[in-house]
Structure 1
Amino acid sequence: MALISVLVPAFNEEETLPLLYEKLVESVKISTDTYEFIFVDDGSTDRTFEVVGDIAAKDSRVRAIRFSRNFGSHAACLAGLMHARGDACAFISADLQDPPDLINILVESWREGHEVVIGVRHWDDSSSRFFQNIYYRLVRRFALQTMPEEGTDVFLIDRKVVNAVIAMGEKNTSVFGLILWSGFSQAVVRYAKGIRAKGRSKWSFSKKVKLFIDTFVSFSYFPLRIMSALGIIIALAGFIYALVIIVARLFFAQAIEGWASLMVVLLLVSGVQMVMLGILGEYLWRNFDESRRRPPFIIREVREMTANTVHDRQEGKGAE
Structure 2
Amino acid sequence: MEELYKGDNVVLTLDEVQRKNSARPKKSEEGVRHFRFILRSPATALPPGDFHLAAPIDFRRFSLKLMQFARCVQSIVNSCQTLFRSNQLLKELSKSGQIDEARKVFDSMPKRDEYTWNTMMAAYFNSGKLVEARKVFDDIPCKSSITWSCLISGYCQYGCGYEVFDLFQQMRLEGQKPSQYSLASMLRVCSMLGLIQSGELIHGYVLKSGFESNVYVLTNLVDVYAKCKRMSEAEYLFKFFSNSRENNVLWTSMLTGYAQSGDGHKAIEFFHDMHKEAVELNHFTFPSILTACSSVSSQCFGELC
TM-score by length of structure 1 reads 0.24
Higher fraction of helix? 2
Higher fraction of strand? 1
Structure of greater relative contact order (alpha carbons < 8 Å, 6+ residues apart): 1
TM-score by length of structure 2 reads 0.25
Higher Cα radius of gyration = 2
